[in-house]
Amino acid sequence: MSQTYPASDEFIARAHVNAAQYEEMYAASVSDPDAFWAEHGKRIDWIKPFTKVKNTSFEFGNVDIKWFEDGTLNVAANCIDRHVATRGDQTAIIWEPDDPKTPARHISYTELKDEVSRMANVLKAQGIGRGDRVVIYLPMIPEAAYAMLACARIGAIHSIVFAGFSPDALANRINDCGAKAVITADTAPRGGRRTALKSNTDKALFDCSDKVKCFVVKHTGDQTTWIDGRDLDLKAMMAEASTDCPPEEMGAEDPLFILYTSGSTGRPKGVVHTSGGYLVYASMTQQLTFDYHDGDIFWCTADVGWVTGHSYIVYGPLANGATTIMFEGVPTYPDAGRFWEVCAKHRVNQFYTAPTAIRALMGQGTEWVEKHDLSSLKLLGSVGEPINPEAWNWYNTHVGKGRCPIVDTFWQTETGGHMITALPGATAAKPGAATKPFFGVQPEVLDPATAEVQTDTAAEGVLCIKDSWPGQMRTVWGDHERFMDTYFSQYKGYYFTGDGCRRDADGDYWITGRVDDVINVSGHRMGTAEVESALVAHEAVAEAAVVGYPHDIKGQGIYAYVTLMNDQSPSEELRKELVKWVRTEIGPIASPDLIQWAPGLPKTRSGKIMRRILRKIAENDYGALGDTSTLADPSVVDDLIENRMNRG
């Protein structure tokens, strides 16, 4: 039995949801979802109230997901305007810059309304309106939040591209969603260094329609190129714009944003989230999972380029009238105490980060934590990958001082918000377990081979979800077939997460990691196929196969097997060049950690690469290769083992 860590009696007494309430509400949420969500759908403001609640089908070939479909609302009005009357002077966003010597900024709800309205008016004046797509390629600056909310205000659909992605990745996304405009900044300071976002955008726009407008936030003032007629100085235009911009009345099922994410095959998919259900779900999970109370200071350390930043820096907290922190920097700049310094400085109450950050900081020693006053912390959260017990214990002891509940939140870009997580007043934490489903979420463990639903409480298999919840993605942008194929074809009648899991005898869920060709590097999702296609685009490469392997800090590292063209020979320079190549093709997060020169790859007689074998060799577990008799040429395996790169 694993040790459990319940919250203190005092915490439980104040919590929004205790154990008895969780049981009762959960039962209601699955026995009568219509009644449950009709009630909780009222947590946001509707222009025209919905009369229909749930209208969803997981039937393969016919997948259709609608929530609150006849209601109308405006998401930005929910995140801003409705708070202005009651808490206009309250800080909505605390912006903490990369350089700690630069003062933080406190943006009140009233200021947020003015800034967002100004930006919305600028976009409108350039012909952007309902249903148009706007790509946002910005660092963690207030303008990123303004841009999201400005789009929401006028009914445009935003698609954020993480500022660490390359010009190619940016161009692909601009083209895939047919964006009318991109919003970027001159340069982005991060960890004392600067990323040239505008120059990346210039490169990307070479491969896009010349109609795409480019709004530039002059953030650092660094010099950039400027193309008259295409490039627009966003801050200067905002200064001239009116603060009056009435929010558009949008349908609950109108798209709010597209966010590209990696899958097993092909290019990243544009995950589409809509307005009503997403906002209900993001706000409810932010309030209940983190036990957020009015006046608390909430800090999610993610980047707005990922879904975690969408739901738990911007939409969830702001819909709840919270104070949310936006941090431009990195955990180790100027030193390994930065996170804790920021917690102390802003008296943070809930702190939400990823295991990879915890592991990196853990390696720097406890003195960095002990230097800072962390007495304001009430709760800690984890997201992005399973948290290993060492990291959990360190987080609990040194950051939470043994008095802050830890919520390990399992969810995905596709799910919009938390799926399996403790609710701190209701569920005792178990290090490494995501524990229990959120309201309305019905997890099932299926046998991966037979697709049989495991009925025993203690079970292991793949994680599927039986019915829809309001935050679920609705489609893949422009490709509903791909949506159905990716998530609903393997296990008929279920949403398939792509993750493996174990349910213990207490009914708690433990996520065991992806069962497909997606790897999780420092909490970032990466498709092995994407890295492979970047590698084979290099002229020296004939063939490449990429797998994940265990990595102490990153969780998983990227291991690439590369077969060179006949006229090429392996060298250290070429290895470096390939790493650099992948960084420019996709971005630094996709850099291979290890490249092994492979004279041949293990293939079946029909030519299919046997990834199972490559994974085992990369894991340094070559004693357990299993059946290799179906290989066309078993001798290639000996060579791969002989020259393996990970001997740790």
Annotated binding-site ranges for ATP = 384-386, 408-413, 499, 514, 525
165 binds ligand WTA (CB under 6 A): no
Scanning 33-41, 277-285, 381-389, 623-631 for contacts with ligand WTA by CB under 6 A, the matching segment is: 381-389
261 binds ligand WTA (CB under 6 A): yes
Establish if 530 lies at the interface with ligand WTA (CB under 6 A).
no
According to CB under 6 A, which residues from 395 to 424 bind ligand WTA? 408-413
Q: Six-digit token pair at 78?
A: 């929910």
Strand-pair category, 518-521 with 509-514? unpaired
Our CB check for ligand WTA shows the closer of 459 and 540 to be 459
Q: Which of 217, 215, 304, 322 is nearest to 259 (CA)?
A: 304
556 binds ligand WTA per the rule CB under 6 A: no
How far apart are the C-alpha atoms of 150 and 142, rounded to whole Å?
Answer: 12
DSSP-derived 3-state class of residue 314: helix
Conformational region of residue 131, where left means phi above 0, alpha means psi within -120 to 50, and beta covers everything else: left
Q: From CA 347, how far away is CA 345, in angstroms rounded?
A: 6
Decide if residue 508 touches ligand WTA (CB under 6 A).
Answer: no
Single residue of 283, 353, 520, 563 touching ligand WTA by CB under 6 A: 520
Regarding 303 and contact with ligand WTA (CB under 6 A), the answer is no
Give bridge partners of residue 269 from the DSSP assignment: 261
Tell me the torsion sign for CA atoms 372, 376, 382, 387: positive
Angle between helices 635-642 and 611-618 (to 10 degrees): 20
- 427 interacts with ligand WTA by CB under 6 A: no
Is residue 310 near ligand WTA by the rule CB under 6 A?
A: no
Give the CA distances from residue 424 to residues 7, 10, 297, 428, 593, in Å, rounded to whole numbers and listed in that order: 6, 12, 17, 7, 37
Q: Segment contacting ligand WTA (CB under 6 A): 312-320, 496-504, 583-591, 602-610? A: 496-504
Does position 298 interact with ligand WTA (CB under 6 A)? The reply is no
Measured from the CB atom, is 388 or 442 closer to ligand WTA?
388
Q: Which is nearer to ligand WTA, 418 or 616 (CB)?
A: 418
Among 247, 276, 384, 557, binds ligand WTA (CB under 6 A): 384
Extract the annotated binding site. Answer: 190-193, 308, 384-386, 408-413, 499, 514, 522, 525, 536, 538, 541, 583
Number of residues that bind ligand WTA (CB under 6 A): 22
Helix (H, G, I), strand (E, B) or coil at 460: strand
Contact flag: residue 511 with ligand WTA (CB under 6 A): yes
Distance CA 302, CA 307 (A): 9
Distance CA 575, CA 577 (A): 5
The stretch near ligand WTA (CB under 6 A) out of 47-55, 225-233, 384-392, 570-578 is 384-392
- 522 lies in the binding site for ligand WTA (CB under 6 A): no
- CB closer to ligand WTA out of 184 and 556: 556
The residue count of the chain comes to: 648
| Residue whose C-alpha is closest to residue 410's, from 427, 422, 399, 393 | 422
- Residue 541 as a binder of ligand WTA (CB under 6 A): the answer is no
Spatial contact of 382 and 353, defined as CB atoms under 8 Å apart: yes
Q: Interface with ligand WTA by CB under 6 A: which residues? A: 261, 306-308, 383-386, 408-413, 434, 497-499, 511, 514, 520, 525
